Amino acid sequence: MYDVQTNPVKNRLYITLGDKDYIDLPVYVGQIESACRYLAPGFTCVAVLDKEGLIRQKEEDLLFNTVDLVYAYGARKIVYVSKPNHNPELFQRSLMNFQFAATVENVTNIQEADEILDQRTLGRLQLH
């Protein structure tokens, strides 16, 4: 299961990856590309890993490839949301991979992710 949504007011993309073994990759990628094109460059992204149990290699790869695609379409800031019991090394690796390309953070709920991104956006607007 996955879900791709946009919030044009916040210029934000929300991607949720859940517990499903099969994802039609061309459809999934097409939905993400369409959503990214709908938003203005410099958009922010919340990537939610809503999975029970252990994270397998193929799920980790899908998450990293998703973030790479979103960054290629102009994401400025990405926040991962994962359960507290998920492997923190997964997100540390991602932070190392993307820290120069886009600012990436890791939190445990969507509300916290939105607060982080809203504060950064508000701070940027106040500087101009």
Judge whether residue 91 has pLDDT over 70: no
- Judge whether 74 and 112 are in contact, CB under 8 Å: no
pTM over 0.85: no
Q: How far is CA 59 from the centre of its chain?
A: 14
What is the per-residue pLDDT across 33-79, written as a single tens digit (0 to 9) for each?
999 999 999 999 999 888 777 777 787 788 888 888 999 999 988 88
Number of domains in the chain: 1
Model confidence band, residue 128 (pLDDT cutoffs 50, 70, 90): very low
The half-sphere exposure of 71 on its side-chain side, counting CA atoms within 13 A, is 18
Q: Which position has the higher pLDDT, 5 or 120? A: 5
pLDDT at 127: 44
Which domain does 7 fall in, by range? 2-127
pLDDT for the residue 125: 47
> The domain that contains 83 carries what CATH number?
3.30.750.24
pLDDT digits (tens, 9 = 90+) for 94-126: 544 544 445 667 788 899 999 989 886 554 544
Q: What DSSP designation does 40 have?
A: P
Q: Which residue has the higher pLDDT, 67 or 90?
A: 67
Alpha helices (runs of H) in the chain, residue ranges in sequence order: 25-38, 57-72, 88-98, 110-127
Q: What is the pLDDT of residue 95?
A: 47
Average pLDDT over all residues of the chain: 80
